[in-house]
């Protein structure tokens, strides 16, 4: 029995004793932590009540600190980043304590397990004043066997110290128990968590020989004669296997069955099956687990690229960090679903969790939505804790049909050309193959060693030839030569530019933390003296990839903005500008470039907006993203000419005179008018409009509300930034966002300024019935809306 363990936690920001596992008698004796935050007698009534997931660093205040000598080592194209703190979003990590009292009613002999999907970062777990376990990694899941520390019948206390002062990455990493926690009670003989492995050999397109390995744990002292049964739900296919497991041992059972006429997992129709595995002793059911699987074939061809189920697929991928406006890294499943659907809406078909193991629910969503996944570990290293993190990544992810490739490293600039890295590569690759063996291994290589850049990957070939698939981060000049040098090795672009701009911003303003890639004066306006991102770099790289079959595709940096890395700007900018969508998931203009060429729906998008007060009569440049053959531009009905669209490119018209009214375009395919688009000069802000992402959520789930500032005709006012007051009924305000990289206001208060006509509110549904949001602003008509809440907890 596995139950959600997210509710009723107490939290204290700051450090309390025990500061270490050796403080007082705790280093010498068991159950010696009857003091400080681990003491059962401690009165924690004044601690804050929190529901997990929780990121306490996102609740802090932004600060500006530099370091003597740039500890970021002047990363190319990121020269404005002068410290790890600035790279991480200018929010300091810290130490926090979590406590939870809970009751158990467990029989002697049963096992009590706690599943932690993710804690950032260095966590120390105490139960009933016993030190139980430490875990340093901030991204890999782990399991605590609490059996020997709990009161089987009665009250228990768990206390967890979390230290997020250390960093594993160079982006915003947050701090806290930021993913789900689960309590599981098992019999003394049970199916090992993550211990069911399903592989298959497809034949005749949709028939398969299904092979199942099942790890069984016997925590009794006597030998057990057992039976493992597997049933493919919704079919007549089943198989069972007998095994004997000695006392206090674990053993793997193997079974196989033939299945015919299976529905395949496709990107457009991702069909999934459930495999139910049951463990019996005689006729007594001891344990049962469900494994979601899908059937598909993968082919990586060094000349023709990637094939899914024998169909050629160009990888149109996005890299993403895991934080979101209002919640930091504490993203619930509802938020992940929103993010992934926004990305898929522009034609994305693959996701790379940068640069670490992703939350289990994200994998499940990718399975359900038909999104391929690059499963990536945090660090390319043979250190024991890093290899254990790799094993966890593979075991947690290997049954998910969405996972199509493993990545064992990202921009390992100090080691990726070293002879010893050949051994590290082979060690990690062998571990992956031992645990999976059905997917290839890559690593994201960058042609830079921390000091100088290179035009080719020649100096890395000694290492990279040991990868199943070569991965390139940027380095476009190296792609063709590498293919010539290693013609039998498939290549994927693991990271490429997506362009950099602030949503709704059409002029760079470093003091406000806003950036526009098409601003012709960017070099001068970035007063910190840092380099501006190159115009056209994203379009040029995608065009290059699209024209080469041997390149399997690309992962763009990034799908959404994230805290940290605000290059090319300096402080006060605290968010990145790399995203195709902003920190709230609102589309930027370049969203429509990718939508133009990554899917088949007709697209016609113009920018900038047409509310340029004080620029009337001035000449502007107008841009168009479209996949139509020809586009004609108009201002108030006067034509600025028709232009032909080059494939995988965009159009622009210089010297367009700014006149209030209507900027419009007509798009043609095969000479016929198929689409029209207009951008109007809108009126003054008049009222607020609210739209929920979903009309129904589950109890303890997240309701996401997108708020627009509109004129009297209901058109978004692109220059409006009123202060919006927020009230939530039937739920709890969790956070707000607006996508403004220069906004340092708290995300946790019930008031937030809109940015370029938009903002977002996230609320937790705390009771069955409905959750209502009311928003208001001075001088504007307010709005309210409700969503229903079902009484089933889904996190």
The per-residue pLDDT for range 333-362, each reduced to its tens digit, is: 999 999 999 999 999 999 999 999 999 999
Across the beta sheet with 651-657, what order do the strands follow? Answer: 604-607, 619-626, 651-657
Residue 717 pLDDT? 98
Cβ(291)–Cβ(275) below 8 Å: yes
Across 475-497, average pLDDT: 98
Cβ(438)–Cβ(210) below 8 Å: no
Across 528-545, average pLDDT: 80
CA 233, 236, 242, 247: dihedral to nearest 10 degrees? Answer: 10
Find the helix or strand (DSSP H, E) in which 769 lies.
Answer: strand 769-777
Question: Which of 148-162, 358-372, 564-578, 640-654 bottoms out in mean pLDDT, i.e. has the lowest?
Answer: 564-578
Residue 85 pLDDT? 87
Strands 758-765 and 9-13: unpaired
pLDDT band at 792 (very low <50, low <70, confident <90, very high): low
Q: What is the DSSP string of 196-252?
A: EEEEEEEETTTEEEEEEEEEEEE-SSS-EEEEEEEEETTSS-EEEEEEEE-TTEEEE
In the DSSP assignment, the letter for residue 599 is S
- Cβ atoms within 10 A of the Cβ of 672, count? 8
- Closest residue by Cα to residue 14 from 48, 64, 50, 51: 48
Cα–Cα distance between 328 and 75 in angstroms, integer?
25
pLDDT band at 524 (very low <50, low <70, confident <90, very high): confident
Residue 74 pLDDT? 59
pLDDT in tens, 737-763: 999 999 999 999 999 999 999 999 999
Residue 78 pLDDT? 65
Residue 87 pLDDT? 87
Question: Which of 46-55, 543-552, 741-750, 785-794 bottoms out in mean pLDDT, i.e. has the lowest?
Answer: 785-794
Cα–Cα distance between 375 and 372 in angstroms, integer?
10
Across 564-592, average pLDDT: 95
Cβ(693)–Cβ(704) below 8 Å: yes
Question: Which of 17-31, 390-404, 432-446, 636-650 bottoms out in mean pLDDT, i.e. has the lowest?
Answer: 17-31
CB-based contacts of 143: which residues, under 8 Å, 6+ apart? 113, 114, 115, 116, 193
The pair of structure tokens assigned to 245 is 């497991």
Handedness of CA 290, 296, 300, 305 (dihedral sign): negative
Q: Taking each helix axis as running N to C, give the angle between helix 537-546 and helix 591-598, from 0 to 180 degrees, rounded to the nearest 10.
A: 10
CB-based contacts of 755: which residues, under 8 Å, 6+ apart? 503, 504, 721, 738, 739, 740, 743
Cβ(404)–Cβ(445) below 8 Å: no
- Closest residue by Cα to residue 726 from 746, 696, 697: 746
Residue 443 pLDDT? 98
Q: What is the DSSP string of 19-87?
A: -STTSTTTTTSTT---SGGG-TT---TTSEEE-SS--SGGGS-------SS-TT---TT-TT--SHHHH
Question: Would you say how long the chain is, in residues?
Answer: 795
Residue 535 pLDDT more than 90?
Answer: no
Q: Max Cα separation, the chain?
A: 89
The pair of structure tokens assigned to 661 is 């009214």
Residue 260: strand, helix, or coil: coil
Residue 219 pLDDT? 98
Residue 795 pLDDT? 40
The pair of structure tokens assigned to 706 is 């997108």
Residue 521 pLDDT more than 80?
Answer: yes
- Cβ atoms within 10 A of the Cβ of 600, count? 7
The pair of structure tokens assigned to 704 is 């996401």
- Mean pLDDT value across the chain: 95
Token pair 């670490």 is at which residue?
Answer: 356
The pair of structure tokens assigned to 314 is 């160009």
Cα–Cα distance between 103 and 151 in angstroms, integer?
8
Residue 60 pLDDT more than 80?
Answer: yes
pLDDT in tens, 62-105: 998 765 455 555 566 666 776 888 888 999 999 999 999 999 99
The phi, psi pair for 779, rounded to 5°, reads 80, 0
Q: How many CA atoms lie within 13 A of 691 on its CB side?
A: 7
Q: How many CA atoms lie within 13 A of 595 on its CB side?
A: 21
Question: Which of 176-190, 466-480, 515-529 bottoms out in mean pLDDT, i.e. has the lowest?
Answer: 515-529
SS3 content of the chain, % helix, strand, coil (to 5): 15, 40, 45
Cβ(783)–Cβ(689) below 8 Å: yes
Residue 292 pLDDT more than 60?
Answer: yes
Please, which residues bridge with residue 575 across strands? 563
Burial class of residue 9, CB neighbours in 10 A (0-12, 13-18, 19+): buried
The pair of structure tokens assigned to 505 is 């911003």
SS (H, E, C) 388-434: HHHHHHHHHHCCCCCEEEEEEEECCCCCCCCHHHHHHHHHHHHHHHH
Cβ(204)–Cβ(24) below 8 Å: no
Token pair 């008018």 is at which residue?
Answer: 673
pLDDT band at 794 (very low <50, low <70, confident <90, very high): very low
The pair of structure tokens assigned to 566 is 């605000």
Residue 699 pLDDT? 87
The phi, psi pair for 464, rounded to 5°, reads -70, -20
Token pair 């059972």 is at which residue?
Answer: 253
Please state whether 63 falls in left (phi above 0), alpha (psi between -120 and 50) or beta: beta
Please state whether 419 falls in left (phi above 0), alpha (psi between -120 and 50) or beta: alpha
Residue 620 pLDDT? 97
Please, which residues bridge with residue 267 across strands? none
End-to-end CA distance of the chain: 17
Across 134-138, average pLDDT: 97
């Amino acid at each position: 029995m596995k139950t959600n363990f997210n509710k009723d936690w107490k939290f204290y920001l700051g450090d309390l004793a025990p500061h270490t596992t050796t403080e007082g008698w705790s280093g010498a004796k068991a159950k010696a932590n009857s003091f400080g935050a681990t003491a059962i007698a401690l009165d924690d009534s004044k601690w804050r009540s929190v529901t997990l997931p929780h990121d306490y660093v996102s609740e802090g205040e932004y600060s500006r600190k530099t370091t003597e000598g740039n500890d970021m080592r002047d990363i190319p194209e990121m020269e404005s980043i002068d410290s790890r703190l600035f790279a991480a979003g200018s929010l300091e990590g810290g130490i926090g304590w979590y406590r939870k009292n809970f009751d158990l009613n467990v029989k002697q002999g049963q096992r009590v397990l706690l599943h932690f999907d993710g804690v950032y970062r260095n966590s120390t777990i105490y139960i009933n004043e016993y030190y139980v376990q430490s875990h340093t990694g901030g991204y890999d899941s782990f399991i605590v066997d609490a059996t020997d520390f709990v009161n089987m019948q009665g009250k228990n206390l768990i206390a967890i110290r979390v230290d997020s002062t250390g960093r594993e990455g160079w982006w915003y990493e947050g701090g806290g128990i930021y993913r789900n926690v689960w309590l599981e009670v098992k019999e003394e003989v049970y199916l090992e968590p993550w211990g069911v492995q399903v592989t298959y050999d497809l034949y005749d397109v949709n028939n398969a020989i299904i092979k199942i390995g099942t790890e069984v744990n016997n925590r009794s002292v006597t030998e057990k004669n057992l039976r493992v049964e597997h049933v493919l739900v919704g079919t007549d296919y089943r198989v069972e296997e007998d095994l004997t497991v000695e006392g206090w041992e674990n053993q793997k059972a193997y079974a196989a069955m033939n299945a015919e006429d299976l529905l395949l997992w496709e990107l457009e129709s991702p069909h999934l099956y459930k495999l139910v595995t049951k463990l019996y002793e005689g006729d007594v059911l001891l344990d049962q687990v469900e494994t979601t699987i899908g059937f598909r074939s993968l082919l990586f061809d060094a000349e023709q690229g990637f094939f899914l189920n024998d169909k050629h697929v160009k990888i149109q991928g996005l890299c993403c960090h895991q934080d979101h406006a209002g919640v930091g890294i504490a993203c619930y499943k509802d938020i992940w679903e929103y993010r992934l659907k926004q990305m898929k809406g522009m034609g994305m078909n693959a996701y790379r969790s940068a640069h670490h193991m992703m939350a289990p629910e994200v994998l499940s969503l990718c399975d359900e939505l038909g999104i391929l996944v690059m499963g990536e570990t945090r660090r390319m290293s043979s250190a024991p804790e890093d290899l254990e993190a790799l094993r966890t990544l593979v075991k947690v992810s290997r049954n998910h049909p969405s996972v199509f490739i493993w990545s064992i490293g990202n921009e390992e600039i100090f080691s990726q050309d070293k002879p010893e890295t050949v051994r590290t590569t082979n060690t990690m690759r062998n571990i992956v193959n031992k645990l999976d063996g059905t997917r290839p291994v890559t690593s994201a290589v960058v042609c830079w060693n921390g000091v100088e850049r290179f035009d080719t990957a020649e100096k890395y070939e000694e290492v990279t030839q040991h990868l199943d698939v070569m991965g390139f981060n940027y380095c476009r000049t190296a792609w063709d030569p590498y293919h010539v040098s290693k013609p039998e090795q498939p290549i994927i672009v693991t990271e490429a530019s997506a362009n950099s701009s602030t949503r709704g911003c059409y002029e760079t303003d470093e003091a406000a933390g806003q950036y526009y890639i098409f601003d012709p004066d960017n070099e001068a306006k970035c007063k910190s003296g840092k380099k501006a991102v190159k115009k056209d770099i994203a379009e040029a790289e995608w065009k290059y990839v699209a024209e080469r079959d041997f390149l399997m595709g690309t992962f763009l940096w990034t799908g959404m903005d994230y805290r940290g890395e605000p290059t090319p700007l300096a402080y006060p900018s605290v968010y990145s500008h790399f995203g195709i969508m902003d920190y709230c998931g609102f589309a930027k203009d370049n969203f429509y470039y990718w939508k133009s060429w990554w899917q088949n729906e007709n697209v016609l998008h113009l920018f900038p907006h047409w509310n340029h007060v004080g620029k009337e009569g001035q000449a502007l440049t107008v841009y168009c993203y479209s996949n139509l053959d020809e586009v004609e531009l108009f201002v108030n009905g006067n034509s600025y000419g028709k232009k032909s669209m080059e494939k995988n490119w965009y159009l622009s018209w210089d010297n367009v005179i700014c006149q209030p009214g209507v900027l419009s375009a007509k798009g043609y395919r095969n000479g016929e008018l198929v689409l029209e688009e207009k951008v109007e000069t809108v009126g003054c802000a008049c009222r607020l409009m609210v739209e929920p992402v979903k009309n129904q959520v589950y109890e303890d789930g997240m309701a996401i509300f997108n708020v627009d500032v509109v004129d009297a005709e209901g058109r978004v006012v692109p220059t409006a930034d009123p202060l919006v007051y927020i009230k939530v009924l039937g739920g709890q305000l969790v956070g707000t966002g607006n996508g403004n990289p220069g906004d340092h206001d708290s995300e946790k208060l019930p008031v937030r300024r809109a940015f370029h006509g938009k903002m977002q509110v996230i609320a937790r549904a705390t009771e069955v019935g409905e959750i209502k949001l009311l928003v208001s602003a001075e001088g504007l008509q307010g709005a309210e809306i409700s969503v229903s809440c079902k009484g089933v907890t889904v996190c």
